[in-house]
Structure 1
Amino acid sequence: MQRALTLLPSRRDYAGLRHTWRGDVIAGITVGIVALPLALAFGVSSGVGAESGLITAIVAGLVAAVFGGSNVQVSGPTGAMVVVLAPIVVNFGVGAVVVVSILAGLIVLVAGILRLGRAVSFLPWPVIEGFTVGIGIIIFLQQVPSALGIAGSGHSTNAVVAAIQSCLQAEFPFALVPLGVVVAVAAIMVILGRLSAKIPASFVAIVVVTVVADLLQLPLTTIGELPRSLPLPTFPGIDPAMISDLLGPACAVAALAAIESLLSARVAASMSDTGPVNADRELVGQGLASIAAGFFGGMPATGAIARTAVNVRAGARSRLSAIVHSGALLAVVYLAANIVSVIPLAALAGVLMVTAARMISPTVVKQVLRSTRSDVVVFVVTALVTVSVDLVFAVGIGIFVAAFFVLRALSKSSDVRREKLPGEEAAGDERIALFRIDGSLFFGAAEQILDRISAQEGIEVVILRLSHLQMVDGTGARTLTELVTNLEQRGVTVLIKGIRDEHLVLMRRLGVIESLRHANHLFTELGLAVAHARSHISRGPGSRS
């Protein structure tokens, strides 16, 4: 019962609110201003519309703030989620996004209840960085149609192909107008960003460009009419056949939501001392956030690294800041929907292009490329698969490649060597082989190591020295059993010295001990094992002791 309570909100979440509420309110308003253009842009870019992005930022941001496991995490629509949702909209329609949001939310919620939150710690660093670079490239390429002022319908679901198609279809010089808007937005964001990190550069850029475009009556496509109130929650009509079709995409969305949210929460914890992150509760909160967003007609949500970072830098200390952020966005819906509706889509494209470019840190990329060769391969493969195939598939491939290199390194660290018998040389020592096995005896190295032992000729007694063995898995123990059995069947007596306590249970279960000719062929001291081997040789062939 006590463990279950750790997944639920409590008074402790707001313990220091009397001292931090002013800073939290200011931080919440600041991050709300930053989140507005991003929420609109992500909604448009995913294909579900600016309204959906705004609703998601409000509803999911509030629910995740209350139920999540981080005190300063800000949640909502993100660029990574856009990358996954855009093909879903193309293949299944806009209505499918609501179903995917609810299904994915349920999956993430169950993952939190099952306490799978720590699983993200097993993601290798090169996989995370390759994944991030790939997402940045995709987000940038997805904005090319809007930047050139052409509709994205009929384009490929692959961002690279769609960008190329858009460039081929662009009509110049008409495309120079939206392209100029993109350049202006990017320039304002870059200049203001260098002047002061406290200035909401994307918000200022959107305001300036929108005012200029409206005054000059530029031929630009705008966001269009937005709702002037938050819609009532409704349960979507779900076709069982649609659920089976959308279960795969929902699993992909859920995996992405879990990974991105936990990574964002971990980054937030490293930026400020605002309390520990409860990874399992974070999954519960993000799952509930996506479910709630779906009922209001929104899209799946995740923790947003950029907005969370802004929240922390603005002085946030508690969940109140993320709650205020949702309230600020709600005020936009009720008070400024008409103003927001005239924002050019090209301006949002410019914001996302700059955001995508900032996701790719040259410093981090250099660090990866200067690390080990295996890390470079994992990084490049993950990035390429992310761009060319699929985000979640890319993470899986990245983990597989990283695991391959780890196993190869373990295999190289595993070794078997024949050692000279200790003490003065005695007659018959040439018929005794002392083998020391080092490193790991696991499925990737067991056969190679034990084949070298089996290949020995003219040997009557084999001593296996296992005290330097660091790790043994089931395959390694089973292969060792087969080796002992094979040698005994050939008339070679096997003695084992130094099985470590942590390996003994597994070796008993898989028959290593039973495969020995006698129970007294298991030793704890090398001297006793060698003495027994020499006594066996002195008694001549055929001895069974």
Structure 2
Amino acid sequence: MRAGSGLRTLLPGRHDYAALRTSWRADLLAGVTVGVVALPLALAFGVSSGVGAEAGLVTAIVAGLVAAVLGGSHVQVSGPTGAMVVVLAPIVATHGAGAVPVVALLAGALVVVAGVLRLGRLVGMIPWPVIEGFTLGIAILIFLQQVPAAVGVPAAGHDANAAVAALQSLGEATAPDALWSAGVVASVVAVMLLAPRVHPAVPGSLVAITLVTVVTAVAHLPVATIGALPAGLPAPAWPTVDLTTLAGLTGPAVTVAALAAIESLLSARVASSHASTGPYDADRELVGQGLASVASGLFGGMPATGAIARTAVNVSSGGRTRVAAVVHALVLLVVVGSLSGVVAHVPLPALAGVLMVTAVRMVSARGVRLVVRSTRAAAALFTLTAVVTVSIDLVYAVGVGIVVAAALSLRAMARAAGVHREELPGPPVAGDERIALFRVEGPLFFAAAERVLERVAAIDGVSVVVLRLSQVQLLDATGAQVLGELVAGLHRRGVTVLVKGLQPDHLGLARRVGVLDPLDDDQVFAHLDEAVGHARRVVALDTRLASAVGTPAA
């Protein structure tokens, strides 16, 4: 019954539309606005990934609709994204465009499984410098991927690495094609930068593409265009693939699934920071995004993710329920059905210009400044993640970033752990020089325990060691084992060990590991004065015994 109840939380319900009565007008307007913004991006991402403009539109429509209904966010808008293009372009270069729907199906299934297994909250483990570096790296890759189209050189046949492909295309560019293409790009960039100054609501990318398309068509400029598009969605079908190719696509599918999960959850988390949009269900979001990619693959589309830019437009335009994202998909469907002939004349360099501006806008200058100025470790982590994203692989970069961040955190925690010898409280008493009081503080765990052992075990010339443990914040199995080894080692040397302030949360572990085995009950104290008083009595007793037998006290 619990399992059934848990699965029901991953399914849509009437509560998804609780605010629709009061927000439907704003949702409709927001949906149309996002649809207008999404059109050039869907075309551009489809072309840039190598699968074509049709696949970009199909993904925005099918995946956008499925994720809107089944996802875990009320305002998330899904479809093709720049980050996904970065991953798909090398896959297309290696396996061909026909492999993309297969990857969408495999990756979508993996994301669904991740949602069912309740792995959604893991995205919260990604550190802020890693996210910023990841975003910067993606923006650089998206920009570099547009260079071939910007200089009028076909991207096919170039190196899968975006930086190398960009350099190759610059070397192959020839006038006048390169000049015409660069002029189109410059025109699009200029319009997109000037449009917000005219009015913030003006969709700069759509206006730029419309103007450039009209000019190039009327003037018959020698630039490549999108080409013919079908007037409607293709029929759903299972993609054909042999076992050898399927095995070769398993690795890329895992990468795509990881990226889809990370980007979608990050986008949903950012959207949920707006109080009026409501919370989001991370696990349901994974299930919805996974099913969206599966549906997109069946229609010949690309893997989909939550789109941060389009989601932000939706929220800022007043979208508050899933109806807005549904309307966005329907607007694109109308465009495919009625304007496919017009869209076919859109110049490819114009789409490259749109993505170049989009890439630049992805990077927050303020966010970069903040992370670089915060700490040297954060700045190094940010730089490392960005470099690995551009030079190797973006999902690998996230993994490296998390591992390095964990190592830096452990290092900082280990430094916070310390052991200090303190003076005994109260007026000095004869024999105090034979008592060592150590204050152990911070986390006593595997990365710091050995240093504590070495510091205390090296003490010499004392009869009693008092371990003050009340300020130990964390005790793991290794820390407890080292503490037990320390107590046992001192005990074997004839040194009396007194333990003060062992926290109740740590007491059970200490007993299980055997820390207290060499000690009697009267050697464990809750108060420092009691422990020091007992230590002084032990020293006094040793002195009297030594005097009685005529030997000096140890």
How does the TM-score come out when normalised to structure 2? 0.94
Name the Cα RMSD after superposition.
1.7
Say whether the 8 Å CA contact 1:33–1:200 is kept in structure 2: yes
- Distance change (3 Å), C-alpha of 1:296 and 1:416: same
2:136 aligns to what?
A: 133
- 1:274 aligned onto 2:277: yes
- 1:251 aligned onto 2:260: no
2:167 aligns to what?
A: 164
Secondary structure at the aligned position of 1:465 is classed as: strand
- 1:80 aligned onto 2:86: no
- 1:360 aligned onto 2:366: no
Per mean C-alpha deviation after superposition, the further-off stretch among 475-484 and 380-389 is: 475-484
Identity of aligned residues (%): 60
Secondary structure at the aligned position of 2:280 is classed as: coil
> Which residue identity lines up with residue 410 of structure 1 in the other structure?
M
The superposition leaves residues 268-315 of structure 1 with CA deviations (integer Å, 9 ceiling, x where unpaired) of: 222350221111111111111111111111111000011111111222
Counterparts in 2 of 1:366-405, with a 5 A limit?
366-405=369-408
**Structure 1 CA distance, aligned partners of 2:444 and 2:247?**
43
> Which residue identity lines up with residue 273 of structure 1 in the other structure?
S
> Which residue identity lines up with residue 227 of structure 2 in the other structure?
G
**Structure 1 CA distance, aligned partners of 2:31 and 2:122?**
30
Per mean C-alpha deviation after superposition, the further-off stretch among 531-540 and 377-386 is: 531-540
1:49 aligns to what?
A: 52
> Which residue identity lines up with residue 518 of structure 1 in the other structure?
D
**Structure 2 CA distance, aligned partners of 1:244 and 1:419?**
64
2:496 aligns to what?
A: 493
1:332 aligns to what?
A: 335
> Which residue identity lines up with residue 114 of structure 2 in the other structure?
A
Secondary structure at the aligned position of 2:129 is classed as: helix
- 1:429 aligned onto 2:432: yes
Secondary structure at the aligned position of 1:316 is classed as: coil
**Structure 1 CA distance, aligned partners of 2:254 and 2:92?**
16
- 1:114 aligned onto 2:117: yes
1:313 aligns to what?
A: 316
**Structure 1 CA distance, aligned partners of 2:112 and 2:511?**
41
2:303 aligns to what?
A: 300
The superposition leaves residues 188-212 of structure 1 with CA deviations (integer Å, 9 ceiling, x where unpaired) of: 1110022222111111111110110
Say whether the 8 Å CA contact 1:182–1:349 is kept in structure 2: yes
- Distance change (3 Å), C-alpha of 1:480 and 1:239: farther
- Distance change (3 Å), C-alpha of 1:279 and 1:423: same
**Structure 2 CA distance, aligned partners of 1:23 and 1:527?**
69
The superposition leaves residues 47-78 of structure 1 with CA deviations (integer Å, 9 ceiling, x where unpaired) of: 11111111100010000000011111100000
1:538 aligns to what?
A: 540
The superposition leaves residues 355-406 of structure 1 with CA deviations (integer Å, 9 ceiling, x where unpaired) of: 0010112222222222222211111111111111111111112222222322
* Structure 2: gaps (5+ residues): 547-554
> Which residue identity lines up with residue 257 of structure 2 in the other structure?
A
1:95 aligns to what?
A: 98
Displacement of 1:491 after TM fit?
A: 2.5
1:518 aligns to what?
A: 520
**Structure 2 CA distance, aligned partners of 1:128 and 1:432?**
51
Displacement of 1:251 after TM fit?
A: 1.6
1:20 aligns to what?
A: 23
Secondary structure at the aligned position of 2:230 is classed as: coil
Secondary structure at the aligned position of 1:9 is classed as: coil
Secondary structure at the aligned position of 1:469 is classed as: strand
> Which residue identity lines up with residue 12 of structure 2 in the other structure?
P
Per mean C-alpha deviation after superposition, the further-off stretch among 416-425 and 41-50 is: 416-425
> Which residue identity lines up with residue 4 of structure 1 in the other structure?
L
Q: Of 6, 9, 19, which residue of structure 1 is paired with 2:9? A: 6
**Structure 1 CA distance, aligned partners of 2:479 and 2:258?**
33
Structure 1 ranges of 4+ moved more than 6 A: none
The superposition leaves residues 221-278 of structure 1 with CA deviations (integer Å, 9 ceiling, x where unpaired) of: 1111212221121122343443432222222111111111111112222235022111
2:550 aligns to what?
A: none
Q: Of 464, 472, 482, which residue of structure 2 is paired with 1:461? A: 464
- Distance change (3 Å), C-alpha of 1:493 and 1:51: same
Say whether the 8 Å CA contact 1:272–1:312 is kept in structure 2: no
Secondary structure at the aligned position of 1:539 is classed as: helix
2:287 aligns to what?
A: 284
**Structure 2 CA distance, aligned partners of 1:277 and 1:135?**
25
**Structure 2 CA distance, aligned partners of 1:147 and 1:272?**
41
> Which residue identity lines up with residue 526 of structure 2 in the other structure?
T
> Which residue identity lines up with residue 208 of structure 2 in the other structure?
A
Count of residue pairs the alignment pairs up: 542
- 1:176 aligned onto 2:179: yes
1:37 aligns to what?
A: 40
> Which residue identity lines up with residue 535 of structure 2 in the other structure?
A
Say whether the 8 Å CA contact 1:411–1:440 is kept in structure 2: yes
* Structure 1: gaps (5+ residues): none
> Which residue identity lines up with residue 132 of structure 2 in the other structure?
E
Q: Of 447, 454, 464, which residue of structure 1 is paired with 2:450? A: 447
1:529 aligns to what?
A: 531
Say whether the 8 Å CA contact 1:127–1:379 is kept in structure 2: yes
Say whether the 8 Å CA contact 2:177–2:223 is kept in structure 1: no
- 1:411 aligned onto 2:414: yes
Say whether the 8 Å CA contact 1:127–1:398 is kept in structure 2: yes
Displacement of 1:85 after TM fit?
A: 0.9
> Which residue identity lines up with residue 350 of structure 1 in the other structure?
G
2:228 aligns to what?
A: 225
> Which residue identity lines up with residue 109 of structure 1 in the other structure?
V
- Distance change (3 Å), C-alpha of 1:241 and 1:475: farther
Secondary structure at the aligned position of 2:428 is classed as: coil
**Structure 2 CA distance, aligned partners of 1:473 and 1:47?**
51
**Structure 2 CA distance, aligned partners of 1:251 and 1:26?**
37
2:474 aligns to what?
A: 471
1:200 aligns to what?
A: 203
The superposition leaves residues 435-483 of structure 1 with CA deviations (integer Å, 9 ceiling, x where unpaired) of: 1001111122111122111111122221111001111222211211222
Per mean C-alpha deviation after superposition, the further-off stretch among 518-527 and 175-184 is: 518-527
Per mean C-alpha deviation after superposition, the further-off stretch among 496-505 and 362-371 is: 362-371
How does the TM-score come out when normalised to structure 1? 0.96
**Structure 2 CA distance, aligned partners of 1:274 and 1:434?**
56
Secondary structure at the aligned position of 2:259 is classed as: helix
